[in-house]
């Protein structure tokens, strides 16, 4: 699935006459005024993203292994998301959700690639992430994000495991999600986000 957004910048230019000299007595006309013809403004390149159709992505699995999950493999389950969750929103929007982890452990990472159709990112932010305590952050990525939300909670009586989660939107309509129980800093998952971006731009 490809989501394309094309932005075109145009300028309305009015030629200006900067001066006028009256015809002299010899009958010769005044020289034509200089008129600058503006150069055409080039349109920015199209931004196109591809949502993968499989979780078997070696580059992303390698990035996850290097980020603290050695030997991670694709452990994506048959998802049955509860209504009102970001997983349900991602799958309903035609995205793909993948789970990667170390076999026979509870250690792993969940990721989504989602096309931001019908502005699902903003609606999920207001309905799910912000009420759960997520904050907008600026991630240190090679490509600037449009907006990102970060949430980190410790284990408690209500939650058996700690939870770390980043949801980030990029120009052109790509929502990426990374979640785990192992990290603390908003930028801890950046190497994985970079690989996910690379895959979506190929």
The per-residue pLDDT for range 160-185, each reduced to its tens digit, is 778 999 999 999 999 999 999 989 99
Sheet holding 96-101, edge to edge: 73-74, 96-101, 108-115, 174-180, 163-170, 147-153, 135-137
- pLDDT score for 142: 92
Q: Which fold has domain 47-201?
A: Protein Transport Mog1p; Chain A (3.40.1000)
SS3 content of the chain, % helix, strand, coil (to 5): 20, 25, 55
Is 3 a residue whose pLDDT tops 50?
no
- pLDDT score for 32: 54
pLDDT band at 157 (very low <50, low <70, confident <90, very high): low
Structure tokens at 62: 């390698």
Task: Identify the weakest region by mean pLDDT among 40-44, 51-55, 78-82.
Answer: 40-44
Burial (CB count <10 Å: 0-12, 13-18, 19+), residue 130: middle
pLDDT band at 39 (very low <50, low <70, confident <90, very high): low
End-to-end CA distance of the chain: 12
Structure tokens at 20: 């006028």
Interior angle at CA 111, CA 105 and CA 117, nearest 5: 155
Whether pTM > 0.85 for this model: the answer is no
| Cα–Cα distance, 84 to 132 (Å, whole number) | 12
175 within 8 A of 167, measured Cβ to Cβ: yes
- pLDDT score for 12: 30
- pLDDT score for 202: 78
Domain ranges in the chain?
47-201
Look up residue 44 and give its DSSP letter. Answer: P
3-state secondary structure of 174: strand
Is 71 a residue whose pLDDT tops 80?
yes
């Amino acid at each position: 699935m490809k989501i394309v957004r094309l932005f075109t910048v145009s300028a309305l230019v009015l030629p200006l006459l900067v001066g006028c000299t009256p015809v002299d007595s010899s009958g010769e006309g005044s020289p034509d005024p200089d008129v600058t013809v503006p150069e055409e403004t080039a349109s920015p390149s199209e931004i196109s993203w591809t949502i993968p159709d499989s979780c078997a992505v070696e580059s992303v699995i390698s990035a996850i292994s290097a980020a603290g999950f050695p030997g991670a493999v694709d452990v994506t389950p048959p998802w049955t998301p509860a209504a009102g969750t970001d997983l349900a929103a991602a799958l309903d929007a035609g995205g793909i959700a993948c789970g990667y982890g170390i076999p026979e452990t509870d250690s792993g990472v969940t990721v989504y690639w989602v096309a931001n159709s019908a502005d699902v990112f903003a609606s999920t932010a207001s309905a799910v992430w912000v009420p759960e305590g997520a904050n907008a952050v600026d991630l240190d990525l090679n490509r600037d994000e449009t907006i990102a939300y970060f949430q980190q909670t410790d284990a408690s009586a209500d939650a058996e495991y700690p939870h770390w989660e980043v949801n980030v939107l990029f120009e052109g309509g790509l929502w990426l999600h990374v979640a785990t129980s192992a990290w603390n800093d908003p930028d801890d998952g950046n190497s994985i986000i970079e690989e996910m971006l690379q895959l979506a731009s190929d």
